[in-house]
Structure 1
């Protein structure tokens, strides 16, 4: 097993749990080498991928990709979802234990969890590309590279970054036109959502995202903060700090959110907490457990996540 890495804060641990917890066989090589694919790339302004390719990932690591990848391992659920959405599922030969979508991903060989990747299983699959997220422990990435494996890390922080990730993953895999199409699809969905929210009358509700009962939440600089705003809410923790800050119970009572979105803590537990009975959201029963996967994973189901949030804000 690869060495485990301790997170710097509990907030990061919980976020990773959200993003990571909560396909298949060899590719025949015919998907992207035909003339139709080249014509589509020309039509949407993308350049045909050429190899060897020099690529710099989101950690600043420069690497050379010798040939179009045919055996890909995904180390995080959001990238598994992205690969399948890019029509690369038949090249995915391995996924992490937490990958549960799409259904086809459940049929792919598993290579361990984010906290304990199985190096032996990974090597046995003979991958020519591994894709990892910014939450993948750096020591795990380093050990994979020490075994002469090509690991590309994608770490989107904003919704625009996620669209760019689609384009980058597709470029590395040799199907840039698929990345442009998926990015445009998400962009169009976001724009439609902006118009939907703009049509709502009245004030936007104030929202608190409760990662757990220790009151970790999402602050500025993260795509979840953007999602709250795009879905028509106001993130009350946006000005508290960047990333995943923890607030005190006194601060929680002071900010008095109108809506609470809970990741792990059951709705009934929040409503029953005797210390929180004076909070607006608790008094009015506006506490929601939503589908974590579509809200916490920076991937192709972001627009579904916006819909989940919108329904909670404007029920």
Structure 2
């Protein structure tokens, strides 16, 4: 074949191939369940079924993209005006579909992901449990929203934890702490984001990393561990002293129990942008209640 004609054919096939080739996704995200989700553009309509994820979206300056949230998402206050679509474990599927979201953000523990995907919705499952998880999820949400330097949120948290640690009196360091996240009792273990913050604050968690981030404990375990200090939310403190053997706990005998109001408790148990404030709340508790703290 004539070299010129051969070159023209080659150019023609290349052009035709370019038009016929499948379009490349503008954005590709792999969620914590290992599912790869492709987007033609950054999502503009977002439903969040996890408070920490909704807070992260807002912290990145993209609150206006949220069109629906779960019943527990109440910070910032503007989220309270959005349609509520149930909880992470019992979402209202019809309500979510009616909002026509470009993506649904949810916890990996939710069982609704497959149902939503079957209805044609894009789902990203992310559930941070450790400091490393929180940092990774923030970067992933930043990538999804195409917000540069999402890492700045984590830098703020890291600096706040460091400052909180420096505010604690030397005598309060080493206190053996039990942090109850929910009745059951469920504890914040050493490997959880709460436990990791406590460690950085100089406290000793009575629940080792080997038991997992948020294990359900036998109440007798806490009796045997006999913590110096108990941290618990107002919702869960009722009846604590009446549990078998708990009246004899050192923390309860000496009134070394920090009971956090609902707003503070919500801040503490959400692995998101307000972890900085959470560190300050726990540091204040240690400085006031831990053995060896200031009188």
TM-score band, normalised by shorter chain: 0.7 to 0.9
Contact 2:160 2:280 in 1 (8 A): no
* TM-score, with structure 1 as normaliser: 0.76
2:267 to 285, 294, 297: 294
**Counterparts of 1:222-301 in structure 2 under 5 Å?**
222-238=192-208, 241-263=211-233, 266-267=236-237, 269-273=239-243, 275-290=245-260, 291-301=264-274
Contact 2:161/2:280 (CA < 8 Å) preserved in 1? Answer: no
| Aligned equivalent of 1:311 | 284
Identify the match of residue 189 of structure 1 among 144, 160, 176. Answer: 160
Q: Sort the Cα spacing of 1:275 and 1:110 in 2 relative to 1 into closer, same or farther, 3 A.
A: same
Structure 1 residues 182 and 251: CA distance shift in structure 2, 3 A: closer
Deviates more, 1:256-265 or 1:305-314: 256-265
5 Å-filtered alignment, 1:129-144, equals 129-135=103-109, 137-138=110-111, 140-144=112-116
Residue of structure 2 in register with 1:170 after alignment: 142
Is it true that 1:93 corresponds to 2:63 in the alignment?
no
Alignment pair present for 1:159 and 2:125: no
CA positional deviation for 1:273: 4.8
- Note the C-alpha offset of 1:59: 1.1
Structure 2 gap ranges (5+): 1-23, 289-295
Is this contact kept in 1: 2:46–2:103, CA < 8 A?
yes
- Partner deviation per Cα, 1:26-51 (whole Å, 9 max, x = no partner): xxxxxxxxxxxxxxxxxxxxxxxx95
268-277 or 159-168, which deviates more: 268-277
Quote the residue 1:41 is aligned against.
none
Does the residue aligned with 1:299 lie in a helix, a strand or coil? coil
Aligned residues of 1:51 and 1:68 also touching (Cα < 8 A): no
CA distance in structure 2 between the partners assigned to 1:174 and 1:213 by the alignment = 39
Task: From the CA coordinates, give the structure whose radius of gyration is larger.
Answer: 2
SS of the residue 1:117 aligns to = coil
Aligned residues, how many? 262
C-alpha root-mean-square deviation of aligned residues, in Å? 2.2
What is the TM-score with the length of structure 2 in the denominator?
Answer: 0.81
The alpha-carbon deviation at position 119 of structure 1 amounts to 1.9
Question: What is the distance in 2 between the residues matched to 1:203 and 1:187?
Answer: 19
Deviations 1:29-86 (A, max 9, x none): xxxxxxxxxxxxxxxxxxxxx9511211111111211112111111111111111111
Could you report, residue by residue, the CA deviation over 1:252-293 in whole angstroms, capped at 9, with x for unpaired residues? Answer: 222110111123665463345563222110111011222221
> Could you tell me how far apart the structure 2 residues matched to 1:293 and 1:235 are?
20
Change (3 A) 1:233 1:130: same
Tell which has more relative contact order, 1 or 2 (C-alpha 8 A, sep 6+).
1
Change (3 A) 1:278 1:161: same
What is aligned with 1:78? 52
